[in-house]
């Protein structure tokens, strides 16, 4: 009779579990208590499971504590409750106290660890499970692969992969998809694709994981091909897979193309618009997460008109939606709209979170409105470290290094603990101002926080010491780091190049290649720049070949460095051939090619290319006009130079700076047009700059214009009385005219002022008569050439 009552009560509890009825479960519990039936372990286990399903922690714990005879299922029921509620601390406590464990116990605690961001704990628990002789199940391996992917531990992932093969689970869809995600997250796309090929019947999870892995490693075209394959095979396309595809469109790394009207457009927008159409066709346009991905895609591609249209069509926006819109206005440099968006958000009852304020700060930063950014920061009641970092980054990006350092001091006074991002920004600010003493203090802070070997901040330390001329200290720090990443290598190479140690930078590049670190576009740009300084076209061509092999020859930074290298080495035709081969030419590439023509005396070609740049619609900047005016000066194209100079502000809205005035004065001076030159001298806003008057004095020497030469020399001596240049040039003018008395007077005046001419010198970089250290460097470079 009693067994029948227990069976009936158990069925009632099971119905409570199915219906999540807490009140009924309590009634059954009370009935069992009155009938003294709580000695039945199975009934108590079902009661614990019922309370767990209803989320009542107090009844779960009280029922567990009053259960007389606990078995492994009792412990697992309580463990499952804490796992489901995400309470890792209590789950681990229960697990450690369990007198007996089952595979379910291990799976629960490993899964809880992985989901709680404790990947190391999850992997350690997995090792303990294997040591105790338990065979991992598909749930175990899925959680372990997730932990490996999140922590980037591909070696452990490979060992688990071997275990999956050993226990015969490699063909399981659940395990296969988790394994695929692990390799994709770790950036091992080749392995991910092999796993994908081994999956007998890949589903939408398999495809989405592979697309995400390809996007993570910037292989966007292949990612789109997989998405198209998914579509062709008839695999169900859901909101998650569409969001992954939109993520590739939001990356900003897809190429541009010219439409039918010749206007340049981003391929990412076009692909994103196609996916938007597919979203509507599949009836998924009501999915909020997917709509947020659409907003992000349009915003990051600068199409705020379409982003606004999507946002206005949302039936129920979220804080994330508002945050994306604020960030989008920031990308487009419209801080006013970003702030209005924040106010509208608040007026509609949405509570801004930290991301909202950081995005608004960033919007002010992008538009250069630092004052508003600071005002926004001051309005925050309790700014977090991320907000501090956002404002610090704002000051750094706009070259306000002093303000960044002062803000860092204020941060310390308010006892806000800096993180690695804070310290990296402050170090970069110290590097920008070459503040060695403050940089050393930050270094000491890093050591106290045990962050002096963190690769993220080590690169900042290397840059700081290098920019302050302490390249030996930078190299010492670099050599002490146990595991260098590409940023540290690049920082050290750039530091050597900054200190004119170009050969050492090239040798370090070779060491990086030997170490197995895959070089980046910045690595190539730096080392090719060193070849430019060394005027070494042979090694520059070899680096060009390596860059092509690694797929970086079309990168804007690498391409610009290659153009500069070829021009500096005298191979202007080679530079032009490479320039013409570039699929996309930015302003810097055009400027470098024009400047290359100018430096090599191809003035007419430089002017022709300048006109082509205007026709292409590429935005010109101050450097463009410096390059083309230099070309006009060197080639004697005075009329063309005056026309271009006059068009700067009139046609292109660029106000002439000191460099532009210097170029046009040099152009007029070389042509002997001194009346126009003197008229221009009376107009320039920068009369106290010595470079202008040195250019004038040099032109006077060529054309023997004594009167203007005297004026230029007097101006130079007023600006810098200890400068030997005006004395020497003026004496040369008098001597060329045979006016020896004036020559003698200039030299006497020079002696009276105590000015001494610096001795000239020359250096021949061919190895003959070279200092032994330089000869050794060239030997090392020759060795590197053979290895390359």
SS3 of 735-786: HHCCCHHHHHHHHHHHHHCCCCCCCCCCCCCCCCCCCHHHHHHHHHHHHHHH
Query: CB under 8 Å to 330, separation ≥6 — which residues?
Result: 338, 359, 360, 362, 363, 364, 365, 366, 367
Q: Residue 785 has what pLDDT?
A: 40
Chain-centre distance for alpha carbon 343: 30
List beta partners, residue 258: 264
Residue closest to 457 by CA, chosen among 472, 438, 442, 471: 442
Indicate the range of 24-33, 363-372, 581-590 predicted with least confidence: 24-33
Helices (H), 67-118: 72-84, 88-97, 103-115
Tell me the C-alpha distance between 676 and 661, whole Å.
13
Query: CB under 8 Å to 450, separation ≥6 — which residues?
Result: none
Count CA atoms closer than 13 A to 127's CA, side-chain side: 10
Where does the pLDDT of residue 266 fall: very low under 50, low under 70, confident under 90, or very high at 90 and above? low
Structure tokens at 279: 């979203």
Handedness of CA 498, 500, 503, 508 (dihedral sign): negative
Residue closest to 32 by CA, chosen among 77, 63, 60, 76: 63
Q: Residue 214 has what pLDDT?
A: 78
pLDDT tens digits, one per residue of 661-695: 888 888 888 888 888 887 877 777 766 677 777 78
Query: CB under 8 Å to 29, separation ≥6 — which residues?
Result: 47, 59, 63
Cβ-contact 102, 72 below 8 angstroms: yes
Average pLDDT of every residue of the chain: 80
Q: Residue 712 has what pLDDT?
A: 74
Cβ-contact 360, 338 below 8 angstroms: yes
Cβ-contact 275, 249 below 8 angstroms: yes
pLDDT tens digits, one per residue of 162-191: 888 888 887 788 888 888 888 888 878 788
Where does the pLDDT of residue 263 fall: very low under 50, low under 70, confident under 90, or very high at 90 and above? very low
Tell me the C-alpha distance between 401 and 390, whole Å.
14
Tell me the C-alpha distance between 165 and 666, whole Å.
75
DSSP label of 518: P
Q: Residue 711 has what pLDDT?
A: 76
What Å distances lie between residue 118 and 113, 420, 496, CA to CA? 5, 20, 40
26-47: burial string, b at 16+ Cβ within 10 Å, e else: bebbeebeeeebbebeebbbbb
Cβ-contact 4, 36 below 8 angstroms: no
First to last CA, the chain: 88
Task: Tally DSSP H helices, then E strands, for the chain.
Answer: 45, 2
In terms of average pLDDT, the best of 34-38, 510-514, 721-725 is: 510-514
Tell me the C-alpha distance between 438 and 404, whole Å.
12
Count CA atoms closer than 13 A to 673's CA, side-chain side: 17
pTM reported for the whole predicted model: 0.60
Indicate the range of 335-344, 472-481, 764-773 predicted with least confidence: 764-773
What Å distances lie between residue 215 and 208, 227, 300, 446, 674, CA to CA? 11, 11, 16, 34, 61
Structure tokens at 560: 């610009």
């Amino acid at each position: 009779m009693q067994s029948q009552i227990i069976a009936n009560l158990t069925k009632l509890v099971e119905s409570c579990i199915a219906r999540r009825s807490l009140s009924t479960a309590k009634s059954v519990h009370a009935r069992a208590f009155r009938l003294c039936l709580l000695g039945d372990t199975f009934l108590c286990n079902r009661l614990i499971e019922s309370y767990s399903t209803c989320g009542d922690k107090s009844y779960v714990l009280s029922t567990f504590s009053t259960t007389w005879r606990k078995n492994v299922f009792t412990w697992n029921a309580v463990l499952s409750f804490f796992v489901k509620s995400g309470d890792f601390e209590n789950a681990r406590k229960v697990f450690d106290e369990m007198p007996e464990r089952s595979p379910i116990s291990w799976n629960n605690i490993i899964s809880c660890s992985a989901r709680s961001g404790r990947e190391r704990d999850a992997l350690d628990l997995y090792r303990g499970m294997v040591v105790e002789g338990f065979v991992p199940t598909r749930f175990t391996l899925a959680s372990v692969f997730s932990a490996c992917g999140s922590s980037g531990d591909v070696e452990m992932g490979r060992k688990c992969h071997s275990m999956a093969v050993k226990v015969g689970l490699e063909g399981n869809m659940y395990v296969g998809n988790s394994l695929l995600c692990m390799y994709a997250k770790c950036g091992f796309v080749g392995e991910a694709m092999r796993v994908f090929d081994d999956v007998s019947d890949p589903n939408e999870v398999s495809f989405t994981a592979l697309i995400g892995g390809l996007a993570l490693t910037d292989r966007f075209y292949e990612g789109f091909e997989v998405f198209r394959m998914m579509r062709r095979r008839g695999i169900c396309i859901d909101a998650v897979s569409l969001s992954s595809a939109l993520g590739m469109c939001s990356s900003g790394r897809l190429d541009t193309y010219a439409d039918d009207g010749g206007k340049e457009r981003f391929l990412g927008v076009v692909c994103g618009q196609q996916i938007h159409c597919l979203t509507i066709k599949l009836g998924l346009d009501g999915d909020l997460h997917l709509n947020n991905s659409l907003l992000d895609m349009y915003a990051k591609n600068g199409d705020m008109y379409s982003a606004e249209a999507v946002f206005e069509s949302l039936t129920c926006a979220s804080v994330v939606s508002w945050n994306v819109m604020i960030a989008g206005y920031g990308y487009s440099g419209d801080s006013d709209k970003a702030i209005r968006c924040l106010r509208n958000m608040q007026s509609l009852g949405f509570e801004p979170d930290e991301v909202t304020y950081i995005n608004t700060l960033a919007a002010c930063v992008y538009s250069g409105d630092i004052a508003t950014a600071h005002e926004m920061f001051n309005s925050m009641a309790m700014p977090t470290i991320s907000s501090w970092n956002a404002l610090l980054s704002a000051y750094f990006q706009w070259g306000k290094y002093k303000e960044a350092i002062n803000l860092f001091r204020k941060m310390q006074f308010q006892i806000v603990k800096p993180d690695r991002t804070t310290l990296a920004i402050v170090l970069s600010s110290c590097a920008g101002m070459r503040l060695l003493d403050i940089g050393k203090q930050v270094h000491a802070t890093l050591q106290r926080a045990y962050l002096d070997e963190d690769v993220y901040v080590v690169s900042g330390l290397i840059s700081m010491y290098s920019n302050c001329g302490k390249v030996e200290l930078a190299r010492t720090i670099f050599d002490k780091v146990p595991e260098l990443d590409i940023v540290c290598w690049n920082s050290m190479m750039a530091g050597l190049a900054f200190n004119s140690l170009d050969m050492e930078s090239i040798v370090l590049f070779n060491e990086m290649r030997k170490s197995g670190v895959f070089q980046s576009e910045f690595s190539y740009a730096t080392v090719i720049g060193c070849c430019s300084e060394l005027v070494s076209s042979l090694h520059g061509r070899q680096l060009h070949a390596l860059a092509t092999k690694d797929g970086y020859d079309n990168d804007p930074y690498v391409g610009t460095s290659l153009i500069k290298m070829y021009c500096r080495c005298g191979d202007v035709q080679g530079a032009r051939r490479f320039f013409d081969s570039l699929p996309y030419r930015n302003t810097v590439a055009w400027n470098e090619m024009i400047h290359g023509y100018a430096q090599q005396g191809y003035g007419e070609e430089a002017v022709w290319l300048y006109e082509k740049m205007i026709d292409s619609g590429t935005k010109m900047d101050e450097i463009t006009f410096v390059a083309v005016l230099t070309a006009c000066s060197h080639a004697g194209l005075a009329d063309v130079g005056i026309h271009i100079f006059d068009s700067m502000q009139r046609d292109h809205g660029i106000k002439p700076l000191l460099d532009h005035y210097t170029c046009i004065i040099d152009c007029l001076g070389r042509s002997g047009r001194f009346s126009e030159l003197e008229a221009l001298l009376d107009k320039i806003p920068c009369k106290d700059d010595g470079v202008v008057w040195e250019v004038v004095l040099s032109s006077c020497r060529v054309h023997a214009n004594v009167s203007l030469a005297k004026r230029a020399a007097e101006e130079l001596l007023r600006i810098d009385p200890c400068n030997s240049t005006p004395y020497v040039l003026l004496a040369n003018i008098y001597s060329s005219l045979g006016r020896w008395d004036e020559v003698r007077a200039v030299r006497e005046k020079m002696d009276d002022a105590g000015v001494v001419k610096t001795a000239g010198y020359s250096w021949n970089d061919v190895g003959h008569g070279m200092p032994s250290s330089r000869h050794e460097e060239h030997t090392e470079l020759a060795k590197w050439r053979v290895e390359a």
